[in-house]
Amino acid sequence: MIEHASIYAQRRARVASQLGHGGLAIIPTAPERQRNRDSDFLYRHDSYFYYLTGFTEPNATLVITAEGEATLFCQPKDMEREIWDGIRLGPDAAPAFLGVNKAFSSADLAAQMPKLLENRSTVWYPFATHTGLEGRVDGWLQSVRARVRFGALCPDLQRDLCSVLDEMRLVKDAHEQGIMRRASQISAHAHVRAMQRSAAMLRAGQDVREYHLDAELLHEFRQHGSQYPAYGSIVAAGANACVLHYRADAGPIRDGELVLIDAGCELDGYASDITRTFPANGRFTGPQRALYDLVLASQDEAVAATKAGARFVEPHEATVAVLAQGLLDLGLLDKSKVGSAQDVIANRSYFPFYMHRTGHWLGMDVHDCGSYVEPSQVGQVSERKDPLSGETIKDRPSRILQPGMVLTIEPGLYVRPAEGVPEQFWNIGIRIEDDAIVTETGCELITRGVPVKADEIEALMKG
Ligand code: GLY
Ligand code: MN
Ligand code: MN
């Protein structure tokens, strides 16, 4: 039997209990995707499907009824295909191995789904996540409708299963937290390795490139059993750090410049997401250090604001308050033009230097699912400004943090050359990102296996 089968069974039971009388849920896994001609992208299962099955084969669909019956459609045994692509579980072995009640070949999906849907009241599936699923559901419902003259009942309601699954996934159970701690630890060590390689290569007078550090990250991820990076690693030297979605490329890593690495591994279906910014040669210059310490101070405040009962926006607000004052103090913003720190915040004058949010949910997906609005308070009178768009949001208060939610805390500053900005700060991009599990009293930072204080980074990069 699959490890932790009971955890997946309990999750399926929780879904079943929310489908309502006569409900049925359909959850397909992800399709295989072609990269070019005969090569596919490395396969990655669908997160919702995996959350409910722990099963990683492609071409599979899970069906859950309100009565708690789970049916799996999976790839049939096929000697020839298994010689080429690997062993398949197959429908005969699936019930005992995965703990589902029944299993069929995925080739039988079209024939079986109308039977499963007949006499059901509501069909649930994740909306707008699987290309073509709506059309397939339509086709199955047409088949049911063709039988109404024979007394069949056809579901008359379709509902979005994301609303159920997103809320469940938002709060991580102990099993999930354990995996996320391990993923974070691997990623943290990968960052340490990359920092040390950068300084060592520069000391040896070698031509250091962004891909050298990317290779260190990958090595450490795979060495410890991570299946793949959780997202495209960013290794950005010098001015490249000011490009938020820069990808590890071939840029030269020069003595005297900073390197920003945003990278995390995926382990057993769960992402980690760490950013560190460090001097390529292991020693910060004065202006680099001034900006670095400011970003770190803003992160400290954000961490302090991350606790059960606080709202999701509070760490961001704490960050912005520190950055606004710091930008004035360091002369990146001119008091005589922009006014006080409060004015800087109100008018969003910090925006050219800090244009992203301070965090996001983290889980199976690096930008994980889950509403950023508090569901229990939708419609209650409130008003706030979205920190990024500046739009007024009425009656949708920010999410209240609960123990077990996991989020990133990732303030940054990005200084492009511009008139009025002291030249010593030009082309410096800094982000510091850690992953936090919300607890009753605060949060647990699970990514501190890589140091974050400037002195500690310098110490570990020494020869
Ligand atoms: N690595 C993606 C992010 O930090 O959101
Ligand atoms: Mn992030
Ligand atoms: Mn990141």
Query: Which ligand is the nearest neighbour of the Cα of 229?
Result: 1
Domain 171-460 CATH (choose: 1.20.58.390, 3.90.230.10, 3.30.200.210, 3.40.50.620): 3.90.230.10
Residue 163 confidence (pLDDT): 95
- Which amino acid appears at position 365 of this protein? D
- Per run of 10 residues, the mean pLDDT along the chain (length 463 residues) is 96 98 98 96 98 98 98 98 97 98 98 98 97 98 96 97 98 98 98 98 98 98 98 98 95 98 98 98 98 99 98 98 98 98 97 98 98 96 91 96 98 97 98 98 98 98 92
* pLDDT attached to residue 387: 86
Q: Provide, for the chain, the percentages of residues in helix, strand and coil under a 3-state DSSP scheme, each rounded to the nearest 5.
A: 40, 20, 40
pLDDT recorded at residue 248: 86
The contacts of residue 280 (CB under 8 Å, 6+ apart) are: 198, 199, 202, 208, 237, 253, 254, 255, 256, 257, 258, 259
Helix, strand or coil, per DSSP, at residue 127: coil
Q: Are 222 and 237 in contact (CB under 8 A)?
A: no
Q: What CA–CA distance (Å, rounded) separates 192 from 213?
A: 10
The verdict on the CB of residue 262 being under 6 Å from ligand 1 is yes
Q: Residue 93 — φ and ψ, nearest 5°? A: -85, -15
Query: Would you kindly state where each structural domain of the chain is located, as residue ranges?
Result: 5-169, 171-460
**Catalytically active residues, by annotation:** 38, 245, 262, 273, 356, 360, 367, 410, 414, 431, 433
C-alpha torsion angle, residues 14, 16, 20, 22 (rounded to 10)? -170
DSSP code, position 332: S
**Cα dihedral 251, 257, 262, 265 in deg (nearest 10):** 80
245 CA from centroid of ligand 1 (Å):
9
From the CA of 275, give the closest atom in ligand 1: 4
Q: Are 223 and 190 in contact (CB under 8 A)?
A: no
pLDDT computed for residue 57 by the predictor: 98
- Quote the pLDDT of residue 159: 98
- Residue 231 CB–ligand 1 contact under 6 Å: yes
From the alpha carbon of 264, which atom of ligand 1 is closest?
A: 1
Instruction: State which CATH number among 3.30.360.10, 3.40.350.10, 3.60.21.10, 3.40.50.1100 fits the domain covering 5-169.
Output: 3.40.350.10
- Whether residue 27 contacts residue 40, with contact meaning beta carbons closer than 8 Å, is answered with no
The DSSP letter of residue 331 is T
